[in-house]
Amino acid sequence: MRIRLPRLSRRQIIAGAVGFVLVAGLIGWAAAPTPKSYRTTEQMLPVKTGPDDAAEVTLDTTLYLPKSASASSPVPAILLAHGFGGTKRSVDSDARLYAEQGYAVLAWTAQGFGRSTGEIHLDSPDWEVKDAQRLIDWLAGRADIARNGTDPKVAAVGGSYGGALSLLLAAQDSRVDAIVPMITWNDLVNSFLPGGVFKKQWAGQFFGATENPASPQCGRFAADLCRAYLDIATTGKATPAAEALLRKSSPSAVLDRIKAPTLLIQGQVDTLFPLSEGDANARGIAANGTPVRVAWFTGGHDGGTGPQSEVDRLRLLTGQWLDHYLKGNGAAPANSFTYSRVSGLNAQGRGLVTAASKVDSYPGLNTSGPAVGLRGPAQPIANPPDGNPAAISSLPLAAGLSGLLGSSGLAGGLSQEIPGQHADFVSEPLGATLDVAGSPRVQIRVASPTGEATLFVKLYDVPANGSPTIPDGLIAPIRLTGLPKNIADAVPMTVILPAVVHRFEAGSAVRVTIATADTAYWSPSDPAVYTVAVDGAITMPAIAGAPIANPDVVWRYVLAGLIALIVIGLIVAVLVARGRARRVDRSVATDLVDMPLVVRGLRKEYKNFVAVSKVDFTVSRGQVVGLLGPNGAGKTTSLRVLMGLTRPTSGEILVFGHRLLPGAPVLSRVGALVEGPGFLPHLTGAQNLELYWRATGRPRADAHFEEAYDIAGLGTAVHRRVKTYSHGMRQRLAIAQAMLGLPELLVLDEPTDGLDPPQIAEMRKVLRRYATGGRAVLVSSHLLAEVEQTCTDVVVMHKGEVVAAGPVDDIVGDSPSVQLDVSDVDAAEKVLEELDGVRSVSWSGGKGLVVDIDGTPRAEVVAALVRAGVGIDRVTPRRRLEDAFLSLVGGDTKASGERS
């Protein structure tokens, strides 16, 4: 999997609703930069690199240069570095924005990625950092780049992999005038082995990000890094040599050398490089008197760029920083600290908006705050063998799914604890809202029969109504040694939890959970039972920040306009919702509320193509209906409309009397497998089903997991990781997922795909059994024999239309052919081939012949054979669904469609 670490793109900045753009224009969005003309030049640049400059690599570069730049009018430069797994194309939109603002921007693909040669050394000072120095040399040789004396005016900007590069480059090259590192690391040892526990999921994402046929195990990584990773991944521990190698690529060792003014941007929703990494960088750089400004935002490796308001805020901070330190414009930006939390919905009601706050100076993570008492006795918890099963706290790169669970992030919302493997310590319901900003601290005691333990300490928000969540999926792994066997002899130790910005509402409880295994981390393989306890209270840090409403971070009038738009949007949303509610009431066909599915006049057009021209059919309770048709008949398109995945051009679909639209509530009564299964490969089958059900927000008891496991028929394999499954096993798991909750209407697209004959036979029984008790099944399949044996009814489609629908027996109808068992096959064939009206004769094995009599009376066929002296043992009418199907479609099984 290629990792594309989040970046702040220009497209995300300018994206927004039409209403916002209009209001922004009216209130004077004149502060946005006026686009300037620029040109781009792509070049493969060879550079000397390596510890002794003895190696040479070729870097794929692009220079974005304002057309106004010249020797008489030079411009400052920005080195723009991409994230891990990316290339120079990953930062193209940012580069263009900076070029429009009057900067020369040099973007390049780091060695080991894309078209650049070389190997990945993880921002080694001897390799990637030296490469960047050679790029500064190249800029220094251009007359159109502005200078400080003989040195070029240059800043280094980048996120994640590129952010660490900017820090290490500034420490190694004094020519760098300013840096803006974002969502990056301080110490790779601490990042990948926090608390001494290996962060296996994230490490696997990194080391699985490159391909190299010549080295399938190491990809394009340097050999020393590959050996270190394989060793750590095997043992769960880092040797001193491995730690030294990782620290060589860590800014932590060189922060005292950084003199370039630094704007540090760190994400609050980031299980890879959490706020503690940015905090260590900020404190280390500021200790030398270097100007440092810190900004947190509601995004990160697990949260993306955050809402649009966050992108705008960070863009403005970055612009101010570069304009002053590179162009000399304006007063020096204050070294204040800004952070934010989600405050509501945007003007369109679809995205989140944040409320930012500011304090005069960066307070760090361990600020003071109230103590919240926790209740609970000392409790035993089991460490499972090989760390399986394991709790779920975070999923790497979960930004794309975070919308499922709101501001808490995907991982926090889908957290799952394993019974017997965790202990909970819970507070009384809070009497007032509690805003947390920083690292909570709690004292725990631990006893272990082995003297060692690996534990995961988590902070939960437990609302009065709703599911508990881990804020941003952040947890504290700890590896302990020298533990007593008895909890009474255990010495209290302070655990510093990851820093969060989170609001605990009044009435919610605070819960500290201590668990033994987590999917994101390495766990000891030997089973053991530990005893854990929490002493007293948890300290919840707070920051007394002032809401931002001044020109140095956000325009006052824009903020007022946004508030006005939100109010207007809420009013409009209420009115629209009421209107929709009234329409929904009228859209229910009361005479069809007990009918699972009614399709009327369905038509779906694309630009130059009609996929479905006219489809009408019904599915009643107790039926198993087969949807048949050659490729291109419109089956899958019809199913996609049925599932609300696309809108019809005309016609309607009613599910239990409700007219179907994308996202319609009635879809909760439908289970489906359409266009193949999709699962998280690193989780087990059972964990995937659990996560899917939790995402629905429905009670666990309603899922009927045991019935689903029985349907899947995977046995103990349901507790294996899905990446080890065969195609057929994935298909069975997908069918079980569709049946979770025992939906009243089940829609399956090719459910027997990948199943072997015994499994197909069992699936027949499952589907027929499922339709009993008032439920219904619609199944699309190309296996006509299976449909004939499984379904009670069929719908045959051809060229976007229904050409037949009804019970299977009715569709099969009268026989156009007969099966004859005769005494002499050769003689019978000769007689029948000469008989008028017989269309075809074919041997079916043994003494059998299949004769297409094409309407000729059977008595005439039999009489002709008897007259010729051929004995007849049996005459059997013969017609299969396949015969009927071919007859209905005229033998045309090719994909087809209608041009509009």
Work out the pLDDT band at 352, boundaries 50, 70, 90. Answer: low
- Do 737 and 770 belong together in one domain? yes
Question: Residue 201 has what pLDDT?
Answer: 86
Last residue of a domain, one of 335, 363, 396: 335
Residue-number span of the structural domain to which 595 is assigned? 591-811
Last residue of a domain, one of 767, 795, 811: 811
- Do 663 and 776 belong together in one domain? yes
The edge-to-edge listing of strands for the beta sheet with 801-807 is 658-659, 650-655, 597-606, 609-619, 801-807, 793-798, 624-628, 776-780, 745-749, 670-673
Last residue of a domain, one of 780, 811, 842: 811
Neighbour-count burial of 567, counting CB atoms closer than 10 A to its CB (0-12 exposed, 13-18 middle, 19+ buried): exposed
Is 714 among the domain residues?
A: yes
- Checking if the pLDDT of 347 tops 60, the result is no
- Identity of the residue numbered 844: S
Is 555 among the domain residues?
A: no
For residue 335, give both structure tokens: 């070294």
Across 282-303, b (16+ Cβ under 10 Å) vs e yields bbbbbeeebbbbbbbbbbbbbb
Question: Residue 757 has what pLDDT?
Answer: 78
Is 560 among the domain residues?
A: no
Query: Measured between alpha carbons, how far is 446 from 484 in angstroms, rounded to an integer?
Result: 8
- Do 460 and 596 belong together in one domain? no
Is 331 among the domain residues?
A: yes
Q: Is 655:641 a contact under the CB 8 Å cutoff? A: no
Question: Residue 344 has what pLDDT?
Answer: 55
Name the residue with higher pLDDT: 146 or 32.
146
- Do 173 and 260 belong together in one domain? yes
- Do 776 and 820 belong together in one domain? no
Local structure of 701: helix, strand or coil:
helix
Mean predicted confidence (pLDDT) in 524-540? 94
CATH code of the domain in which 868 resides:
3.30.70.100
Q: Give backbone dihedrals phi and psi of 612, rounded to 5 degrees, phi first.
A: -135, 120
CATH code of the domain in which 450 resides:
2.60.120.260
- Do 280 and 309 belong together in one domain? yes
Question: Residue 438 has what pLDDT?
Answer: 94
Is 227 among the domain residues?
A: no
- Do 681 and 723 belong together in one domain? yes
- Checking if the pLDDT of 691 tops 60, the result is yes
Question: Residue 631 has what pLDDT?
Answer: 76
Question: Residue 840 has what pLDDT?
Answer: 76
- Do 418 and 507 belong together in one domain? yes
**pLDDT tens column, 778-819:** 988 777 777 777 888 988 888 888 888 888 877 766 556 777
513, containing H or E segment: strand 509-515
- Checking if the pLDDT of 527 tops 90, the result is yes
Tell me, what DSSP letter sits at residue 103?
-
Ranked by mean pLDDT, which of 104-108, 557-561, 580-584, 691-695 comes out on top?
A: 104-108
- Do 57 and 141 belong together in one domain? yes
- Do 782 and 819 belong together in one domain? no
- Do 496 and 429 belong together in one domain? yes
The 3-state secondary structure of 578-623 reads HHHHHHHHHHECHHHCCCCEEEEEEEEEECCEEEEEEEEEEECCCC
Query: Measured between alpha carbons, how far is 813 from 793 in angstroms, rounded to an integer?
Result: 13
- Do 734 and 648 belong together in one domain? yes
Is 204 among the domain residues?
A: no
**pLDDT tens column, 432-488:** 999 999 999 999 999 999 999 999 999 999 998 878 889 988 999 999 999 999 999
Is 500 among the domain residues?
A: yes
Is 525 among the domain residues?
A: yes
Mean predicted confidence (pLDDT) in 380-408? 66
CATH code of the domain in which 57 resides:
3.40.50.1820
Query: Measured between alpha carbons, how far is 793 from 761 in angstroms, rounded to an integer?
Result: 18
**pLDDT tens column, 825-855:** 888 888 888 887 777 777 777 788 878 776 6
Counting the structural domains of the chain, the total is 4
Query: Measured between alpha carbons, how far is 544 from 419 in angstroms, rounded to an integer?
Result: 39
Question: Residue 521 has what pLDDT?
Answer: 93
**pLDDT tens column, 633-662:** 888 888 888 877 778 888 888 888 888 776
Global pTM reads 0.61
- Checking if the pLDDT of 428 tops 60, the result is yes
CATH code of the domain in which 626 resides:
3.40.50.300
- Checking if the pLDDT of 730 tops 90, the result is no
Closest C-alpha among 253, 254, 275 to residue 264: 275
CA 337 vs CA 189, 209, 282, 292, 547: distances in Å:
27, 34, 11, 9, 12
Mean predicted confidence (pLDDT) in 224-228? 92
